[in-house]
Structure 1
């Protein structure tokens, strides 16, 4: 009998996320200068900051190359941002080795086919509600929330609550995200 995804939550020390389709809804707006614009949910940003403040590792691995995306994550305090990651496994392996992290300690959230190689190697593969069918099939948890609408907050909050690290009323002073 396979374990429920909730049985994995206590093991998680590290969050890894794709960007487009996870932190964003996957839409791209193009301005008159050809710049690609994305929209991110502040609830996801808040949860990311909480996870970092509570000592969790947060790593972003994206095929995209937009420096504004990197700036957003650096503004949240994320130090490990891999952009232009054509080979997500290489980034994943380097990150785990550099930080002495075991695969079973990792929650990864992805939404599309390039995420599958990493998702098939970690403890808790997850995805937004609107992920592609193959990613849903590989996930131990499918958020009830679509990409860019709070799915990152969903998984971070679940882990932190199970581990009794989600902010209490006295701790809810983390700056806005």
Structure 2
């Protein structure tokens, strides 16, 4: 049973911000100045399963590090937008490429750059530690903080609602 107040059977796509959603909002810096991010293994499992089950999955982030691109492409994610200065532009590109309707999309964001996209999608999601402005427009606020399983939370609930969670594809990477 889902605790998300939205018809999860409509969802065909998952779109995520990285910093503060798929990684913690505190980022260690490498001595050369590059940010180093953490990732949640259970998020990774859920992301690759969603891809295997035929969902569209996208990453839209203002940041850029090669490690982030490698991590998410290895999970099978094809739509990776990095250095996204204005996220709505990249989101519109994703929508055009996939032909999805806004009500078929879940977007998880945690801060002001995510606001415009979250206002457009059917299911805007915020981590527990998101900015107040983002929480105010989210239809679902995860009990998980950013970097601590937000993707797993929403993907698992959605796949369960659509009877895709414990399928044969679930038992392997």
**TM-score, normalised on structure 1?**
0.93
- Which position in structure 2 is the counterpart of 1:163? 162
Q: For the residues of structure 2 that align with 1:82 and 1:31, how far apart are their CA atoms?
A: 23
Paired residues of 2:5 and 2:139 also in contact (CA < 8 A): no
Q: For the residues of structure 2 that align with 1:32 and 1:109, how far apart are their CA atoms?
A: 30
Paired residues of 1:65 and 1:84 also in contact (CA < 8 A): yes
CA-based RMSD: 1.3
* Pairs within 5 Å for 1:127-166: 127-166=126-165
- Which position in structure 1 is the counterpart of 2:5? 6
Q: What secondary structure, in the 3-state scheme, does the structure 2 residue paired with 1:43 have?
A: helix
* Pairs within 5 Å for 1:92-111: 92-111=91-110
How many residues end up aligned between the 2 structures? 171
Give the ranges of 4+ consecutive aligned residues of structure 1 lying more than 4 Å apart after TM superposition: none
Q: For the residues of structure 2 that align with 1:38 and 1:7, how far apart are their CA atoms?
A: 31
Deviation digits for residues 93-134 of structure 1, max 9, x if unmatched? 111111111001000000001000000001000011000101
Q: What secondary structure, in the 3-state scheme, does the structure 1 residue paired with 2:106 have?
A: strand
* Superposed displacement of residue 5, structure 1: 4.1
Paired residues of 2:57 and 2:77 also in contact (CA < 8 A): yes
Q: What secondary structure, in the 3-state scheme, does the structure 1 residue paired with 2:42 have?
A: helix
Change over 3 Å in CA distance of 1:53–1:171 after alignment to 2 = closer
Structure 1 gap ranges (5+): none
Q: What secondary structure, in the 3-state scheme, does the structure 2 residue paired with 1:138 have?
A: coil
- Which position in structure 2 is the counterpart of 1:37? 36
